[in-house]
């Protein structure tokens, strides 16, 4: 595909003066566990390992998210299981991520620092599933699939972060329940889940499938992680198999209260340097950008962001650009990073097709910003409200236009006042 060159776009939109910017620091209070690994081990003691026979195999399910120190937490869980006299095996619990291939899922774990050498346990990344049963979700028959590798084990332990989801709002969102229903369902399970969830709702679908899974598999329990604003672990809690639905809502509320968000609900333009699957299931956290773009799920009322410019993909996402469709403008450098096979595998499995759409593509930052500012209508550099962030999880430091700074000056501190410059069309900032 050939996208327009500078000479094609330049005559269409006149250059506009850039607003002045300030680099700011935003640090709401947050508590971080002082000894995360000790807390992990203490919590694991609460799970019923005594019910297992010596030498039992224990599968540890781990997902694709870039959770704080997830490699160390996984290694600690492996070490604990091994020391108890059991055989630990790690199974990727990430649905269709990694292009829905064993190699891709191994690569996804490796990007998170999780390798067989690093954790001291084998990784079984087979995509094979078995059909456990069917469940009825408000009149919709839904097949329940589960990882064949996990089913071969004597016990299953899942590790996941509890947080607001990027597609829906409910009493249960991202967490242990969803890892059981989607992550360990591999591609077939994830596709069956999303097909029903889009029609009948995510929470009823999760709850219905969890009941089937819990009855059919040797589920030991889960290790729930809650991150704070700084993307550091603030709480670790081991939850027995029968208590997932009971405990997740309270942990979700804590996660929602402490999650990274911008200190404003009103933006004209949000510039995002990088999106990726380890950042969020939607590439960009929809709770930060205010867009779900999911069938039968209205977008959040806040925040209100008129336009989004996505500049590129993270290295860790390995080309999976699912979420680029949430942007209104992108640049050629981002499109060149896309692996459409991985992106489509994710989008087609989830049914969230809008997230895989490619927005208008400009050749450079300078022209992409010109396109975006023009699309705002009545652009004025003195009043435009712009936030420029690295990604949607690292929000302790970012850039804002002067007009936005005036409104949030009571909750942020100015590090440096800057001006936007372009070298060969690529944006950068320098002191002013």
DSSP characters over 251-276: HHHHHHHHS---S-SEEEEEEES-B-
Encoded tokens for 331? 């640049």
Encoded tokens for 4? 């327009």
Tell me, yes or no, if the pTM score tops 0.85. no
Helix (H) or strand (E) holding 22: strand 21-25
Q: What is the pLDDT of residue 292?
A: 80
Q: In angstroms, rounded to a whole number, what is the distance separating the alpha carbons of residues 348 and 161?
A: 24
Q: What is the pLDDT of residue 165?
A: 85
Q: What is the pLDDT of residue 301?
A: 75
Q: What is the pLDDT of residue 266?
A: 95
The backbone torsions φ and ψ at residue 400, rounded to the nearest 5 degrees and listed phi first, read: -140, 150
Q: What is the pLDDT of residue 41?
A: 97
How do residues 6-22 score in pLDDT, each as one tens digit? Answer: 999 989 999 989 999 99
How do residues 337-365 score in pLDDT, each as one tens digit? Answer: 999 999 998 888 888 898 999 999 999 99
Q: Comparing C-alpha atoms, which of 318, 327, 333, 256 is closest to residue 290?
A: 327
Encoded tokens for 219? 């589920």
Q: In angstroms, rounded to a whole number, what is the distance separating the alpha carbons of residues 390 and 392?
A: 7
The strand pairing partners of 133, in sequence order, are 144
How do residues 102-147 score in pLDDT, each as one tens digit? Answer: 999 999 999 999 999 999 999 999 999 999 999 999 999 999 999 9
HSE-CB at 126 with a 13 A cutoff on CA atoms is 14
**99-117 exposure pattern, b = at least 16 Cβ within 10 A, e = fewer:** bbbbebbbbbbbbbbbeee
**Superfamily for the 36-258 domain:** LarA, N-terminal domain (3.40.50.11440)
Q: What is the pLDDT of residue 296?
A: 67
Could you tell me where the beta strands, DSSP code E, fall in 162-249?
219-227, 233-240
Q: How far is CA 354 from CA 59, 91, 187, 282, 288, in A?
A: 34, 29, 19, 11, 18
Q: In angstroms, rounded to a whole number, what is the distance separating the alpha carbons of residues 24 and 418?
A: 11
Pairing between β-strand 413-423 and β-strand 386-389 as defined by DSSP bridges: unpaired
Give percent of the chain with pLDDT exceeding 90: 84
Q: What is the pLDDT of residue 149?
A: 98
Give percent of the chain with pLDDT exceeding 70: 100
SS3 assignment, position 44: helix
Rounded to the nearest integer, the mean pLDDT of the chain is 94
Tell me the average pLDDT across 386-413.
96
Length of the chain: 432
Task: With beta carbons less than 8 A apart as the criterion, state whether 294 and 312 touch.
Answer: no
Per-residue pLDDT for 419 more than 80?
Answer: yes
Tell me the average pLDDT across 41-49.
97
Q: What is the pLDDT of residue 364?
A: 97
Residue with tokens 């992409």: 368
Q: In angstroms, rounded to a whole number, what is the distance separating the alpha carbons of residues 355 and 358?
A: 8
Report how far Cα 105 is from the mean position of its chain's Cα atoms: 15
pLDDT class of 281 with cuts at 50, 70, 90: confident
215 Cβ neighbours under 8 A, 6+ residues apart: none
83 Cβ neighbours under 8 A, 6+ residues apart: none
Q: In angstroms, rounded to a whole number, what is the distance separating the alpha carbons of residues 105 and 126?
A: 9
Q: In angstroms, rounded to a whole number, what is the distance separating the alpha carbons of residues 430 and 250?
A: 44
Extents of the domains making up the chain: 6-26+262-431, 36-258
- DSSP at 111: H
Q: What is the pLDDT of residue 264?
A: 95
How do residues 291-327 score in pLDDT, each as one tens digit? Answer: 888 776 677 778 999 999 999 999 999 999 999 999 9
Q: What is the pLDDT of residue 352?
A: 83
Encoded tokens for 10? 């330049």
Encoded tokens for 298? 């209205």
How do residues 248-268 score in pLDDT, each as one tens digit? Answer: 999 999 999 888 899 999 999
Q: In angstroms, rounded to a whole number, what is the distance separating the alpha carbons of residues 286 and 328?
A: 14
Q: How far is CA 306 from CA 72, 188, 265, 269, 280, in A?
A: 39, 36, 11, 6, 21
Per-residue pLDDT for 388 more than 80?
Answer: yes
Q: What is the pLDDT of residue 351?
A: 82
Q: What is the pLDDT of residue 36?
A: 96
Beta carbons within 10 angstroms of residue 376's beta carbon: 16
């Amino acid at each position: 595909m050939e996208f327009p060159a500078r000479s094609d776009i330049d005559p269409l939109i006149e250059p506009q003066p850039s607003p002045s910017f300030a680099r700011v620091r935003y640090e709401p209070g947050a508590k971080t566990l002082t000894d995360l690994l000790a807390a992990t081990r203490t919590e694991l003691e609460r799970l019923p390992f005594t019910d297992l026979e010596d030498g039992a195999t224990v599968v540890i399910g781990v997902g694709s998210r870039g959770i704080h120190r997830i490699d160390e937490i996984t290694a600690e869980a492996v070490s604990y299981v091994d020391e108890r006299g059991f055989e630990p095996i790690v199974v990727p619990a990430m649905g269709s991520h990694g292009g829905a291939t064993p190699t891709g899922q191994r690569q996804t774990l490796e990007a998170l620092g999780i390798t067989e050498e690093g954790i001291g346990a084998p990784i079984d990344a087979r995509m094979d599933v078995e059909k456990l049963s069917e469940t009825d979700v408000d009149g919709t028959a839904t097949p329940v699939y589960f990882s064949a590798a996990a089913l071969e084990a004597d016990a299953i332990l899942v590790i996941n972060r509890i947080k607001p989801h990027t597609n829906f709002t409910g009493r249960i969102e991202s967490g242990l329940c969803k890892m059981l229903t989607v992550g360990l369902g591999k591609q077939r399970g994830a596709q069956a889940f999303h097909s029903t969830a889009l029609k009948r709702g995510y929470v009823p679908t999760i709850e219905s499938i969890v009941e089937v899974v819990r009855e059919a598999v040797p589920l030991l329990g889960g290790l729930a992680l809650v991150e704070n604003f700084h993307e550091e672990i603030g709480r670790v809690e081991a939850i027995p198999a029968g208590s997932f639905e009971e405990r997740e809502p309270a942990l979700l509320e804590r996660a929602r209260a402490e999650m990274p968000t911008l200190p404003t609900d009103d933006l004209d333009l949000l510039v995002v340097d990088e999106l990726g699957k380890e950042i969020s299931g939607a590439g960009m956290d929809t709770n930060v950008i205010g867009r779900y773009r999911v069938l039968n799920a209205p977008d959040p009322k806040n925040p209100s962001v008129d336009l989004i410019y996505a500049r590129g993909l993270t290295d860790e996402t390995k080309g999976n650009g699912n979420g680029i469709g949430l942007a209104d403008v992108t640049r050629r450098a981002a499109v060149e990073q896309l692996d459409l096979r991985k992106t489509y595998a994710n989008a087609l499995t989830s049914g969230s097709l809008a997230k895989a759409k490619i927005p208008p593509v400009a050749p450079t930052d300078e022209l992409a910003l010109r396109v975006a500012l023009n699309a705002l209508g009545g652009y004025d550099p003195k009043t435009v409200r712009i936030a420029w962030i690295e990604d949607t999880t690292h929000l302790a430091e970012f850039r804002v236009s002067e007009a936005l700074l005036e409104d949030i000056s009571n909750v942020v501190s100015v590090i440096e006042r800057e001006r936007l410059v372009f070298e060969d069309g690529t944006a950068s900032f320098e002191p002013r």
